[in-house]
Structure 1
Amino acid sequence: MKMHVQELKLADLIQAFDRLITFWHSDPADYRSEPGELNPIALELGWRNYSLWHEEDKARRTDVDDSMIAQVKRNIDGFNQQRNDLIEKLDEAILAWLTPKVDFDKDLPINSETPGSIVDRIFIMSLKVYHMHEDTLRDDIDDAHRSRSQQKLATLREQRADLEQALHRLLDDYLAGNRKMKLYRQFKMYNDPTLNPELYRQTGA
């Protein structure tokens, strides 16, 4: 195991995320009470993604009033904003950890995706793995459906493993001085009443 992922508490992300998702589906009283060694920002990021996933499921319902869907949409906006904030927060923590170890003032190539974004994608892929595996266990599908879901599940697992390896390689490149880490800000505008024209036109901000 690479020392950097151990120090950052980002080791064995796939196993950690699988364990968390199973635990959260048991409807615990506190989402933070699952035992395990995981970066606390990554845990919070995972929880927001978990919450966002299930709100998006609710948004597809057709048997409820439009007022409920409107509230669900606002919940989705809130979770998505928190998710993006946590990606940036995780990147800030990783950069703070790297800065004493690496000279980032040199002219080095920059990766198009940050470590925080990769961690985010690994968790989303873990949600897909969990729910696709659920689909393979259904007793109301035929063999053709089950076979398609099993093939998709294998692909999802392979892609997720590729992402985890990519995260490790990127951190190795940073530490070796082969790449420069740089923070990228999302500047989400839709939740900001001073930037969303549909909001500031109402308030005159």
Structure 2
Amino acid sequence: MSGPANDPGRLPTVTGQVEDWTRLQIDCVRRWHDEPIANPHSGWLAWVCQQHAFNFQLWHEEDVARNPNVTDARIAQVKRSIDRLNQQRNDWIEKLDDAITESIHQSGVAVSEDAPINTETPGSAIDRLSIMSLRLYHYAEHLQRKDVDAEHRTKVETRWLLCQVQHADLSASLQTLMDDLFAGRKRHKTYRQMKMYNDPSLNPEMTG
């Protein structure tokens, strides 16, 4: 994937509202199903797009992994791809949170030491919204199918509508959290996920 987000050396300033970020995710899902993955954005939106791209690729590799007709060799290849993409996805959650930390600092926000910490970081919420945009797209695809019965269509529509509610709820909650962070009402930290499975020094199966 080419784009400005491939240069992660400088932390971007957080810009826009949550609805801008979720609109980007939804638009990219639609476009990337018809076009190659690309990141035409700059700054903070480029970083949101980059993290989203790893989820997009991960979603479709996991579909392949569950195909009972693929060969064992293909499954092994896909499993390695899934591990790599999942690591990148998680790395970029941390990068998003690091950028938020820097933006809060640059904004001169005074945060009390006893201000509460949210149970989920904004980066993790952005990741969840990314996955939700993929889920909404693929449920909507199923609603367009002509080869399914009414029971299947009802099940899909029920889930699609629930996903819309959950997406709206999470978007609103994230916006509240961002407002609280930049007003100093809550403290923000980047929580390192410290995955072990891709580290040869920590995974004994990789040191042979």
SS of residue paired to 1:74: helix
Q: CA deviation at 1:14?
A: 2.8
With the length of structure 2 as denominator, give the TM-score of the two structures: 0.87
Please report how far the alpha carbon of residue 105 of structure 1 lies from its aligned counterpart in structure 2 after TM superposition: 5.4
User: How far apart in 2 are the matches of 1:167 and 1:185?
Assistant: 20
Give SS of 1:72's match.
helix
User: Could you tell me which residue of structure 1 aligns to residue 26 of structure 2?
Assistant: 18
Unaligned runs of 5+ residues in structure 2 are 1-12
Contact 1:102 1:177 survives alignment (8 Å):
yes
In the aligned structure 2, how far is the partner of 1:144 from the partner of 1:187? 43
Q: Partners in 1 of 2:97 and 2:14 — Cα distance?
A: 16
Maintained 8 Å contact 1:16/1:36: no
Task: Please give the alpha-carbon distance, in whole angstroms, between the structure 1 residues aligned to 2:42 and 2:100.
Answer: 20
- Structure 1 131/14 Cα, relative in aligned 2: closer, same or farther at 3 Å? same
Give unmatched runs, 5+ long, in structure 1: none
**Residues of 1 paired with 2:192 and 2:42: CA distance?**
30
Cα deviation for residue 13 of structure 1 reads: 2.6
Tell me, yes or no, if structure 1 residue 46 matches structure 2 residue 47.
Answer: no
- What corresponds to 2:116 in structure 1? 109
How many angstroms does 1:27 deviate by? 2.9
Alpha-carbon RMSD: 2.0
Q: Which of 191, 202, 205 is equivalent to 1:184?
A: 191
Match of 2:5 in 1: none
Report what 1:74 is aligned to: 80
Q: In the alignment, what sits opposite 1:96?
A: 102
Query: How big is each residue's C-alpha offset from its partner over 1:89-112, in whole Å with a ceiling of 9 and x where there is no partner?
Result: 000001100013322452211111
- Structure-to-structure mapping, 1:105-144, within 5 angstroms: 106-144=113-151
1:151 equivalent in structure 2: 158
* Matched residue SS, 1:57: helix
In the alignment, residue 198 of structure 2 is paired with which amino acid? N
Residue pair 1:10, 1:39 contacting (<8 A) in 2 also: no
TM-score by length of 1: 0.89
Select between 37-46 and 181-190 the one with higher mean Cα deviation.
37-46
Secondary structure (helix, strand or coil) at the match of 2:176 reads helix
> Which has the larger displacement, 150-159 or 100-109?
100-109
Q: CA–CA distance in 2 between the matches of 1:13 and 1:122?
A: 9
Tell me how far 1:10 sits from its aligned partner.
4.6
- Partners in 2 of 1:81 and 1:41 — Cα distance? 16
- 1:98 and 1:198 map into 2 onto residues whose CA distance is 41
Partner residue, 2:3: none
